[in-house]
Structure 1
Amino acid sequence: MNLGVVVTGAGHGIGRALATRMSAEGARVVVNDLDAEAAARVAAEIGGRPVPGDAASEEGVTALVEAARGHLGAVDAWFANAGIDSGHGLDAPESDWAACLQVNVLAHVRAARLLVPDWVERGAGRFVVTASAAGLLTLLGSPTYSVSKHAAVAFAEWLSATYRHRGVVVQAICPQGVRTRMLANAGALEEVLSHDRALEPEDVAEAMWQAMDDDRFLVLPHPEVADYYALRATQTDRWLEGMSKLQRLVEAHEEGARG
């Protein structure tokens, strides 16, 4: 595989694992992250090209695409992995809502605008969104993350429906708990997110690599998510009652921790 690949948010966690796996399979990888030192370190480890910077703003995405094309010649696959979890509860401020929508949704829209026309002309291209199971279900405690990840899945669905017949493959990775900095900082939710076992980032990268064989849209490193997703769609009230029960358990755990 001699693909030209860009991975955003590749300095740590799932992004680092994706970049490492793609490189191991022969891809030429551009490593992007806001953390310039982390991007340089991962690029050195895998023989990739570090292009640190903002992968969300219009200016940042444009600069990243231009730099990637300059190095790779053409971008064959874009792994839109960068994401944030900012803001919790109903009182999450407007700034947190704006930040989550910017990074978790609009970054994908802006990248697709620049990449898809070329892919349509060539008849081939791949756009992969790291969306989280929160994009299919919900994440207790964080409306900003839940809503923005749902929107990320919705945009990916639209992109696939619109351009699939033109050779553009779109995929959404939707894991539950993964041993990253985000999980470590989840507090009482860490136990909930790890209910079906917390995976290593490398497990997610492996699931993604396997999904590139059949180009399936939903990539579910935790297979159980498919059952939860089906329950949510077909027995919505039962599913919501189960989530409410989990919410009560989280609140009890938090109260116990406070003393």
Structure 2
Amino acid sequence: MKVAERVAIVTGGGGGIGGALAAALARAGAKVVVADLDADAARTVADQINAETPGAAVGSGGDVSDSEVIRALIALAERHYGPVDMYFANAGITGAPGLDATEGDWDQAIDINLRAHIRAAQLLVPGWVQRGEGYFVSTASAAGLLTQLGGAAYAVTKHAAVGFAEWLNITYGDQGVRVSCLCPMGVNTKLLFAGAQSGDPTGDLATRAVTTAGEVLEPAAVADEVLAAVDDERFLILPHAAVLEMYRHKATDYDRWLRGMRRYQRALLNPEVS
């Protein structure tokens, strides 16, 4: 799908990958609603976009795991620009790191990393089917294909996000609805370093696992990869090419891959021993 003249909503757009995506979409000729829990951050990104491309963006705050907030974003897009053509479900959290996570911790991670995608699809996909086109882009993670050392809630919910995106693609792909799933490793965002800054050893393990596994990319480079994939209507978006090889190793010999991941975890936890 060509993004020029399209109307897009980008969640988690107040910075990081979402902010870069919103800017890249506007440069490519789209109109963008920038949404973020931090309303000021969303409006700042929109203002920066409008300084370069006047009238291309509007910012809005809200919790995008809430169906009513999503409904309001869709209405905002329609008032300013017209029907929504593209939805980038990019907002996410790391979640609590391990088995000490409470029911509330798990609910929050599931709500933001998974149910937010489901709720957006429920509101948008039926209309796209009627129109014969639409595009849903899910930001998951390499953790959704592999796993996340030190991050149980993150790993589980990102696996679920990949699964939901696959299901959407299979179920509605023949009805004009395109679906892509973004699965990067390390990207230079606040989310990447949240674990290290939390003071929790398990969260710190998650950060070190990602930052030592491969190159940490800048958000703008990831946004460029996403737009190229959308143009090609390609499902799996892998800004880190090594993820595909890791995924193949996992599928070829699951037990060997698990042993390797345990070795990697031991090396991170006890670098003096390795």
TM-score (norm 1): 0.95
Unaligned runs of 5+ in 1: none
The alignment yields a C-alpha RMSD, in angstroms, of 1.4
Corresponding residue for residue 142 of structure 2 = 133
Q: 1:59 Cα shift?
A: 2.1
Which position in structure 1 is the counterpart of 2:54?
A: none
Shift of 1:96: 1.0
Name which of 38, 60, 65 aligns with 1:35: 38
**SS across alignment from 2:232:** coil
Asked if 1:218 corresponds to 2:267, the answer is no
Structure 1, residues 39-98: CA drift from partner, whole Å, max 9, x if none? Answer: 110000112111211111122222222222222210010000000111011111111110
Confirm whether residue 186 of structure 1 aligns to residue 203 of structure 2.
no
Greater shift, 87-96 or 119-128, is seen at 87-96
Give SS of 2:33's match.
strand
- Pick from 109, 113, 118: which aligns with 1:100? 109
CA–CA separation in structure 2 for the residues paired with 1:189 and 1:142: 6
In the alignment, is the contact (CA less than 8 A) between 1:30 and 1:51 conserved in 2? Answer: yes
Of 142, 159, 170, the match for 2:151? 142
Residues 106-151 of structure 1 show CA distances to partners (whole Å, capped at 9, x for unaligned) of: 0011000110111111111000001010111100111101100000
- Give yes or no for the alignment of 1:81 onto 2:90: yes
Amino acid at match of 1:200: E
| Cα contact 1:176–1:193 (8 A) shared by 2 | yes
> Amino acid of the residue matched to residue 14 of structure 1?
I
What letter matches 1:190 in structure 2?
T
Choose the corresponding residue for 1:58, options 43, 53, 67.
Answer: 67
Distance in 1 between residues matched to 2:209 and 2:109, nearest whole Å: 22
Matched-pair contact (CA < 8 Å) for 2:13–2:34:
yes
- For structure 2, the residue ranges without an aligned partner over 5 or more in a row are 51-56, 197-204
Give a deviation string over 1:153-193, Cα, whole Å, max 9, x none: 00000000000000100000000000101122232433321
Identical positions, percent: 49
Taking the aligned partners of 1:89 and 1:190, their CA distance within structure 2 comes to: 14
- Could you tell me whether the CA contact under 8 Å between 1:78 and 1:128 is conserved in 2? yes
Alignment of 1:223-242 (within 5 A): 223-242=241-260
Distance 1:137 1:159 in 2: 21
Secondary structure, counterpart of 1:127 in structure 2: strand
Report the count of equivalent residues.
Answer: 255
